[in-house]
Copies of this chain bind each other. A is one copy, B any other.
């Protein structure tokens, strides 16, 4: 049970879109080259991020991508949902509906009713509550937070070098 590698590509790539000079954007080619990633695959990731309104596509020869809103308005959770979708981790197939003791004949395989029903399947509700703990944590982590932390971890000099790579290549 895993998140796809798209989550990793998305989060690592978005780092380089934080606080870039206005009127500039970052190209997929440069993001791919800088990180040693597949340009084709990274394009797919950015299509999803564009669709979720996390980034804007800038057309033109020197076009690329920029953040669609402020870095403190983009959470890890939002990025994950953009590339992974919003389906719960726990795969509830509503097996209660198939049980011989079930007289209500609720044959709804999707079991969407559980979370909202106090009488809904307790096991599904517990798993959803557990996942919510993870989501709440990821919702509090924003790109702005990541930016500040990376300044400390990598150092300002190292980060300036990274920024210079994209500045030089966008000219």
Contacts and interface: CB of A to CB of B under 8 A. Distances in A.
Given A1-B89, A133-B137, A137-B129, A95 B37 contact: yes
B138 A91 contact: no
Copies in the complex: 2
A2 interface: yes
A9 B91 CA distance: 10
A118 B21 CA distance: 30
A76 interface: yes
B134 A34 contact: no
A73 interface: no
Contacts of A99: 34-36
A58 interface: no
A87 B2 CA distance: 8
What class of interface size applies to chain A in its complex with B?
Answer: 35 or more
Interface in A111-162: 118-119, 122-124, 126-127, 129-131, 133-134, 136-138, 141, 146, 149-150, 153, 158, 161-162
B134 A138 contact: no
A34 B101 contact: yes
Contacts of A161: 101
A8 B84 CA distance: 21
B95 A12 contact: yes
A44 interface: no
A4 interface: yes
